[in-house]
Chains A and B, each alone.
Chain A
């Protein structure tokens, strides 16, 4: 199968097959789909953060159009339940509509049904929810103190889970010449895909199934969770993801609104549609990224890390989401805080804290963005303490290439690469010397120049070995792909992951083309439909190209063997004397095309060999990488900024990413993932925050309050690729989807602090807004 790379195979910068329909406005998103007799939903949402529901006042004329949990419970609907098997995990149950108590502003408490969304909203506006307000937890550090109001009364405290990683590092703490400590915080954010969540549920009378057409990243997982909540067999549920307008994690869960829509479609025997509006999203889906670290690093006089200890809190909100649970993020902090570094002493305690905010959902990079923000500040802090360039201290502490593959202090198995080289290349590419000279010289406009670096490695496509330990409702195993040669020599691929911007319809076709030589124009990917595709845990954790791409390669190779066998017969050659190349089976000078072979199987079976594989030209193949501890892509980000000490504003003057995604199937798509990730990371770093007042009211419910980066806030990111193929995967690919979003807050924080150093000021929390920077400067001046 040593076919040389072709213009459309692995490694080619191929234009996307998806583009044509999307560029003509002919995509098919949930909101674009209507069905005869369809009704629309509007949710009545909790106006308060914590309260007991005394009752509802529903106008008599709307009695039949309004439903509450009492109706659902009477029908036997079960709450969403996402447990973790980690010892000590406290279980929360989330009814799809609040059951007697509300725990965050925006929690659905009742649902209204009408012919249009507008009419449903009219009804919702007339529903009065009578509540007794309760004291609220708006801050995770307060919520863990004795006497804090309890989010879940039957718990002993507000901690979903406490984890402890590593052992005592008292010896190092007592003897290390360098000790630096920081308090570090990241703000609660909202993921903001441009398409909000949407769902259209209907009962398919012929298939006898509830069909949920939903903007989801995980159709098979939603199917399982939905069946559990509805109390029906999974065979009665089909989940279809049509075109999905971005996800980033927000569409990687079973949502209460999906349960409600499915139940109502069955109850009313009418198609039911709900489309999340932006205000609902910014209020009820403000659900990610909120971490707090108390962290200390120990080092020698040169800055070599001797140990690290940390307490970390994650604001997990009010409930445990299905399937990832409330503890994934904080527990992950404990295991990945050491980052890409090689050191010997480590202790970390983490708390997943319940508060009166929306339940936390893993956002692009999951805990890594917060972890990188904390760890990379510590590297710079150590460098400052020993009086050296941060990049030098960074490079010297990174796992060196000669130690690869490397098992780190928390048993993460780094597969390959040259981490220090990524730093050196970033230093050269950003032109550090030039910026240092400019710093010395000073800016004519009084602004202050800073340069910052951040390095991370990202465990992607984690498999069974990692996930079974969490004990959550979902453990990825073997990923499968179905391949079918069509009678005219094309190829259909079916995968259970879901593409919502990643371009898999193109990149998976490239993988199959690499193996089979069938033109990518003739390769069709079917994805995201539980009725048509193999089971999959879905698209999350930068896993799709490694896992489903590997399955597509495996299935294609097995198809190739069947093609060769029929081809050899038609060519009157021995199978071992044939090769599949360029879309045809060759034996010496003779050849027969895949199209002819397909024709023979389907249309002229009298010509087949007697011992032909009776499975024909259609099969399902499974795949798992050689190591299912995941791939480790890595990168160093370098950024130069100008900080205005009078206004607190930050301008990004240059941004460089030096990254290693292993083999790139489509470098254009990889670059797009990195640029998009960096833009989100810049949002985390400088702009995005959902503030709450003391009563738990969110203060950013429009795009006028919640700022995501636009054209003028994001620089023309420069990307340099290092290509170290993973030893464990098909073609040596590594997961890359999330990486871009991990390092920008850390790199920008280090750059801003580099700029502020002459003033003795320092920021340690994100977002680093003008107010935050001016406060830091004022603090330093006191």
Chain B
């Protein structure tokens, strides 16, 4: 019933037995005890479970763990030392970009992607780029302001 997979999780090589039907988020949460990846809908809409697979944002609730054999998975726990994530964490706190914190890990992963990919994004573009993630607490204003703050600071530092 199970398959053996070998993958890299937050820089650590892991070999594990997984059931073919187990999605990546359940595998990470229940078998690897990485509970920072949250499940908000389990049908690929809300974005709470967003993490990085080979550096690209992906929905872990609609990705099977067995499909990640040989891949590199990075969860929010793996972004502790990431400089862009550090800037975003500081900005999210300064701009009140989180309340209950449940959607936050997915938001951070998506926001990091926006910061790296769209350095010149205006507020409208930030909103469009982030529209794959839902938040029920903040009304999004604090999150947009946080991303704006990081983009502006990067421009100032670069200039």
Chain A contact residues, CB within 8 Å of chain B: 15-16, 18-29, 31-32, 34, 116, 118, 192-196, 243-246, 248, 277-279, 500-503, 668-669, 671-672, 674-680, 702-704, 708, 710-712, 714, 716-717, 740
B144–A711 contact, CB under 8 A?
yes
B139–A501 contact, CB under 8 A?
no
The interface residues of chain B lying within 8 Å CB-to-CB of A710 are: 131, 133-134, 140
A23-B89, A118-B21 known; A501-B101 Cβ under 8 A = yes
> Which one of B22, B34, B46, B128 lies within 8 Å of A118 (CB-CB)?
B22
- By secondary structure, the A interface counts as loop
* Contact of B58 with A by CB under 8 A: no
Closest to B135 in A: A194
Closest to A702 in B: B43
> Which one of B19, B93, B123, B126 lies within 8 Å of A23 (CB-CB)?
B93
The interface residues of chain A lying within 8 Å CB-to-CB of B30 are: 34, 116
A500–B100 contact, CB under 8 A?
yes
Closest to B86 in A: A23
B29–A194 contact, CB under 8 A?
no
CA distance in complex: A678, B138 (Å): 9
CA distance in complex: A442, B67 (Å): 55
Bitwise interface map of B from 90 to 130 toward A, beta carbon under 8 Å scored 1, else 0: 00111010111111110010000000000000010011101
Interfacial residues of chain B within 132-152, with CB under 8 A of chain A in the complex: 133-144
For this complex, 11 residue pairs linking A to B, each with C-beta atoms less than 8 Å apart, are A16-B93, A20-B93, A22-B104, A24-B89, A32-B29, A194-B135, A196-B40, A245-B100, A675-B138, A676-B136, A711-B126
Q: Which 6 A-B pairs have the closest CB atoms?
A: A25-B36, A22-B101, A245-B102, A675-B139, A501-B100, A501-B99
The interface residues of chain A lying within 8 Å CB-to-CB of B103 are: 194
CB distance from B28 to the nearest CB of A (A): 11
CB distance from A242 to the nearest CB of B (A): 11
The interface residues of chain B lying within 8 Å CB-to-CB of A502 are: 99
Chain B contact residues, CB within 8 Å of chain A: 19, 21-22, 26, 29-30, 34-43, 45-46, 48, 75-77, 80, 89, 92-94, 96, 98-105, 108, 123, 126-128, 130-131, 133-144
The interface residues of chain B lying within 8 Å CB-to-CB of A680 are: 136
A192-B136, A676-B99 known; A15-B46 Cβ under 8 A = no
CB distance from B12 to the nearest CB of A (A): 16
CB distance from A561 to the nearest CB of B (A): 35
B136–A248 contact, CB under 8 A?
yes
CA distance in complex: A534, B71 (Å): 50
Known: A195-B38, A243-B101, A501-B100. 9 other contacts (CB 8 A): A25-B104, A26-B77, A192-B136, A194-B46, A194-B135, A503-B99, A703-B43, A711-B127, A714-B140
B136–A18 contact, CB under 8 A?
no
A501-B101, A501-B137 known; A195-B92 Cβ under 8 A = no
B36–A195 contact, CB under 8 A?
no
CA distance in complex: A716, B140 (Å): 8
B77–A675 contact, CB under 8 A?
no
Closest to A677 in B: B139
A708–B136 contact, CB under 8 A?
yes
The interface residues of chain A lying within 8 Å CB-to-CB of B89 are: 19, 23-24
